[in-house]
Amino acid sequence: MMKGIRQWVFVATLVCCLANEGWAQTYNGIHKYDGTHQNVVTSYMMLGDNIICDTYFGVAASYTRHLTDRWHVGGDMQAQMGKQFYSVDVQGGYRLPVKWMDFYLDGKLIYNRYNLWGTNEVMANLSLTWETPYFNFRIGETYIHYHMLHFGYTEPLTLALGAGVNIRPRWDSWNIGLFARNYDDFYYEAYNINWGVNFWANLMKDVQLFGELNLRPAGSLSQLATEYEKSLKLGLKYVW
Amino acid sequence: MYGKPMKKYILWTMLAVLTLTACDKVSPAGILIANTDVDDRIKMSRDYYRVHERDLFLFKKAHDGEYTFLVGADSHLTTDPGRMREMLQIGIDDDDLFYAHLGDIADTKAEYYITLDEVITEAKEKYGKKHYKPVTYMDDYDYPHTIYLDTVSQKFYEVKEIPLPFHPVVGNHDITNNGWALWTSLFHSSFYMGYVLVGSDDQGVEYLDRLIFLDSASGTLGEEQIDEIESHFFDNDIQNNANLKIRHTFIFGHTNIFRPSATEFASTFTREETYYLLNKFDQWNASIVFSGHVHAWDEREVGGITYLTLDAMSEDNNPGPGDYLVRVHAKRDGSLSWERVRMNYTPISQ
């Protein structure tokens, strides 16, 4: 009975989050399969400020299905109003537990539409993630192709690098962490290292609140990091 | 006072700070926070440009509707000004209407900028001797002193004041280690524009080629520059005057948009800013977009626009002779052509 009510509360919250804009995608870091729940739904709202588009608002939703305790597949959607940015992706991966660590091999295929500039973008990423209770590190390669103005361009392979650290073990009921990475849920950059702080806290047994402050400079590897974008994400994760 | 672990952390922190501040040419701490803000540069440049725009080089007149200009990139001048001197000499010898330099003109040390200033002054004197009339008189101390008379405008110039048409944009190496102060002491503005008057028709419409110089040294144009662009900083003169028409638009910036090959550095523009810029250049109906930064040659066509990324003319990066410059020829009939121009200077140590 309680579980049913929680599900409805969560779904209602999701609907409230997404009422205006439809579905979107999410990514809040790799979280170890808990061994019980096979389904994970997350949704977040995003508020940001960007030097080109000024203030924007976004919504995202994501679903992950753990096929076994090793294999998972999923999909994400995101829309950012103000930027007129729309994104969908599918992803899947394999988890290899080694003692107290986990290694993930993940693949992700993203389609992005930058409507303001009439640009279609396809990205494919293959990443290896090393996750420990307090620390995670990811390295990967990304294929990026975009098409605009009757012109297509493929970026030679682009290295993806990311790292995060938490103040408490990853499975604790709440946590705060720091991260640095050259990618986010829906894009991969050549340089331009994002950095910020994130948190999560269990609201109920199966529902988690999470958030993230993301500072995205440009020109990091010109040694001239300059403010480009800052964004705030706040969302819920539900497992069953 | 401190426990052993705390001492260890303090030592590590001190070591990290020393490491991050010891590098000469780069500022590793700039990966997180820049010491030179693009928005500040634009504010300073905009103010300078608005006061001095008529002194810069608006309305250069093409000879009989036809002209050439010379473009170079990434000279990274240190103690040897050979390549910089060669670029300036080529332009004087071949009567190019103007030069554009795509940034990273010198590494950021005062003595390198003193050397750069000397080379530019030397070129001004040569330019003055070629285009103006030298007038020598005995000064108050009975020493011969030469000034230069522009016989068209009837203006006299001291050597230092000769308007050598050398127009640089700023690069990332120009502004690391607070190099902006050095750069502005010579060039003043990193965000400006100019026109070349190429002719008029029977209806009295003047045709202009537009030159746009962008500050992309930080790997982003920044908010101030984007706002200025969106406020039609580069379009107002034209939009408000039915008797002016743009023929060609040439864009000069430092940071490359395209990656010459998988082994070269990618652009530091964010994905969104890349798409914004490609669209903006299309809206401006640009003919050629020039950039440098990556020290490798690249050419491609996007939506009818030619994008040229120039190899470095720096002696350190390319000690041997090579085609490091580009000359553009804008012809009377409106057609354009460009060619790579060879530089022969070889450092003595080679």
Kindly report the CATH number assigned to the domain that includes residue B302.
Answer: 3.60.21.10
- Residue position matching structure tokens 């634009």: B42
**Residue B86 within a domain:** yes
Q: How many CB pairs under 8 A join A and B?
A: 139
What whole-number percentage of chain B has pLDDT above 70? 87
| Burial zone of A203 (CB within 10 Å; 0-12 exposed, 13-18 middle, 19+ buried) | middle
CATH code for the domain in which residue A112 is found? 2.40.160.40
User: How does residue A170 score in pLDDT terms, banded at 50, 70 and 90?
Assistant: confident
Strands, E assignment, A132-167:
135-148, 151-166
What residues contact residue B330 under an 8 Å CB cut-off, 6+ apart? B62, B66, B67, B68, B69, B196, B198, B209, B248, B336
Q: CA B54, B55, B57: angle at the middle one, nearest 5?
A: 80
Q: Give residue A222's pLDDT.
A: 61
Smallest CA–CA distance, residue B172 to chain A, in Å, is 6
User: How does residue B201 score in pLDDT terms, banded at 50, 70 and 90?
Assistant: confident
**Residue B2 within a domain:** no
d(CA B225, CA B158): 34
User: How does residue A11 score in pLDDT terms, banded at 50, 70 and 90?
Assistant: very low
Q: Give residue B337's pLDDT.
A: 97
Q: Give residue B263's pLDDT.
A: 80
Position with higher pLDDT, B241 vs A62: A62
Nearest CA-CA partner of A153 in B287, B294, B298:
B298
Nearest CA in chain B to A145: B271
Q: Give residue B17's pLDDT.
A: 47
Q: Is B307 on the interface with A (CB under 8 A)?
A: no
Contact in structure between A109 and A141 (CB atoms under 8 Å): no
Contact in structure between B148 and B164 (CB atoms under 8 Å): no
> Rg (Cα) of chain B, in Å, rounded?
22
Residues 244..263 of B with a Cβ closer than 8 Å to A: which? 255, 258-259, 261-262
Whether residue A224 and residue B218 make contact (CB cut-off 8 A), yes or no, is yes
Question: DSSP states of A70-113 as a string?
Answer: SEEEEEEEEEEETTTEEEEEEEEEEEEEETTEEEEEEEEEEEEE
Angle between helices B180-187 and B110-131 in degrees, nearest 10 = 10
Whether residue B31 and residue A52 make contact (CB cut-off 8 A), yes or no, is no
d(CA A4, CA A8): 6
Evaluate if residue B32 carries a pLDDT over 70: no
Whether residue B34 and residue A226 make contact (CB cut-off 8 A), yes or no, is yes
Position with higher pLDDT, B65 vs B345: B345
Enclosing domain of residue B202? 30-127+164-343
What residues contact residue A16 under an 8 Å CB cut-off, 6+ apart? none
Residues of chain A with Cβ-Cβ distance to B38 below 8 Å are: 224, 226
Q: Give residue B164's pLDDT.
A: 93
Q: Which amino acid is at A74?
A: G
What residues contact residue B91 under an 8 Å CB cut-off, 6+ apart? B70, B99
Evaluate if residue A25 carries a pLDDT over 80: no
Q: Give residue B57's pLDDT.
A: 54
Evaluate if residue B286 carries a pLDDT over 70: yes
What is chain A's length? Answer: 240
- Residue position matching structure tokens 């003043």: B188
Smallest CA–CA distance, residue A215 to chain B, in Å, is 10
**Residue B152 within a domain:** no
- Mean pLDDT over B324-339 rounds to 95
d(CA B196, CA B206): 10
Whether residue B270 and residue A150 make contact (CB cut-off 8 A), yes or no, is no
Q: Is B90 on the interface with A (CB under 8 A)?
A: no
B105 in helix, strand or coil?
Answer: coil
| Burial zone of B15 (CB within 10 Å; 0-12 exposed, 13-18 middle, 19+ buried) | exposed
Instruction: Quote the number of domains for chain A.
Output: 1
**Residue B348 within a domain:** no
User: How does residue A45 score in pLDDT terms, banded at 50, 70 and 90?
Assistant: very high
In this complex, the residue of B36, B278, B301 whose CB is nearest that of residue A224 is: B36
d(CA B271, CA A116): 13
In this complex, the residue of A119, A224, A226 whose CB is nearest that of residue B275 is: A119
Smallest CA–CA distance, residue A156 to chain B, in Å, is 5
> Rg (Cα) of chain A, in Å, rounded?
18
What whole-number percentage of chain B has pLDDT above 90? 60
Residue B235: C-alpha distances to residues A54, B244, B323 (Å): 22, 11, 34
Nearest CA-CA partner of A159 in A184, A130, A139:
A139
Nearest CA in chain B to A217: B32
Whether residue A52 and residue B276 make contact (CB cut-off 8 A), yes or no, is yes
- Mean pLDDT over B274-296 rounds to 96
Evaluate if residue B299 carries a pLDDT over 60: yes
Residues of chain B with Cβ-Cβ distance to A148 below 8 Å are: 275, 278-279, 303
Q: Which amino acid is at B8?
A: K
d(CA B150, CA B134): 9
Residues of chain A with Cβ-Cβ distance to B309 below 8 Å are: none
Whether residue B176 and residue A193 make contact (CB cut-off 8 A), yes or no, is no
User: In the 8-state DSSP scheme, what is residue A117?
Assistant: G
Contact in structure between B345 and B119 (CB atoms under 8 Å): no
- Mean pLDDT over A1-7 rounds to 52
User: How does residue A219 score in pLDDT terms, banded at 50, 70 and 90?
Assistant: confident
Q: Dig out the tokens for A32 from the structure.
A: 């170890």
What residues contact residue A153 under an 8 Å CB cut-off, 6+ apart? A145, A146, A147, B258, B302
Whether residue B27 and residue A195 make contact (CB cut-off 8 A), yes or no, is no
Evaluate if residue B239 carries a pLDDT over 90: no
Evaluate if residue B31 carries a pLDDT over 70: no
Nearest CA in chain B to A195: B32
Q: CA B165, B74, A216: angle at the middle one, nearest 5?
A: 110
Q: Is B193 on the interface with A (CB under 8 A)?
A: no
Q: Give residue A221's pLDDT.
A: 65
Mean pLDDT of the residues in chain A: 85
Instruction: Quote the number of domains for chain B.
Output: 1
For an interface test with A, the pick among B21, B220, B261 (most A C-beta atoms closer than 10 Å) comes out as: B220
Q: CA A129, A135, A136: angle at the middle one, nearest 5?
A: 15
Q: Dig out the tokens for A119 from the structure.
A: 């640009």
Contact in structure between B321 and B345 (CB atoms under 8 Å): yes
Nearest CA-CA partner of B31 in B262, B179, B219, B183:
B219
Contact in structure between B205 and B69 (CB atoms under 8 Å): no
Nearest CA in chain A to B275: A117
Q: How confident is the model over A107-154, as pLDDT tens digits?
A: 999 999 999 999 999 999 999 999 888 999 999 999 999 999 889 999
Enclosing domain of residue A107? 2-239
Q: Give residue A232's pLDDT.
A: 96
The Cβ of residue A19 has, within 10 Å, a number of other Cβ atoms equal to 9
Mean pLDDT of the residues in chain B: 87
Q: How confident is the model over B101-156, as pLDDT tens digits?
A: 999 999 989 999 999 999 999 999 999 999 999 999 988 888 989 999 988 888 89
